[in-house]
């Protein structure tokens, strides 16, 4: 059984920061909008390259796994057969992607 131990310093410190930002947003919406907008712009300008490099590196890593010897690794018993044909599997992935997109953007 997994047991969780809370570190009070981390919990209360994070709660205080989140609560302070929430109070700022509730008490001074215009000021907090300006502050959060500038903070986001700084993060994007400063660390945008790292985000792009991380995604590109991850995509290269996944492509290397798929195209290398590990791409043929069977994730089940040796005698197991796929439950669905390849085309049906791709259609289900497409349908799931479209479904979550519709659910997400339906509220926008």
| pLDDT digits 0-9 by tens, 46-104 | 999 999 999 999 999 999 999 999 988 888 898 888 899 999 999 999 999 999 999 99
3-17 pLDDT tens trace = 778 899 999 999 999
Question: For residues 80 and 74, is the Cβ–Cβ distance under 8 A?
Answer: yes
Of residues 2 and 9, more confidence is placed in 9
Cβ partners under 8 Å of residue 80, min gap 6: 74
Q: Which two tokens stand for residue 86?
A: 């390849």
| pTM, to two decimals | 0.57
Per-residue confidence (pLDDT) for residue 1, from 0 to 100:
59
Rounded CA-CA distance 36/21 in Å is 10
């Amino acid at each position: 059984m997994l047991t969780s131990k809370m570190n009070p310093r981390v919990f209360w410190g994070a709660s205080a920061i989140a609560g302070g930002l929430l109070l700022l947003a509730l008490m001074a919406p215009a000021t907090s909008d300006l502050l959060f907008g500038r903070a986001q712009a700084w993060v994007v300008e400063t660390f945008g390259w790292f985000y792009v490099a991380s995604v590109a590196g991850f995509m290269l890593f996944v492509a290397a796994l798929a195209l290398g010897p590990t791409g043929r690794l069977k994730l089940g018993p040796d005698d197991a057969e796929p439950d669905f044909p390849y085309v049906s599997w791709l259609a289900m992935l497409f349908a799931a992607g479209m479904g979550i997109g519709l659910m997400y953007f339906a509220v926008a």
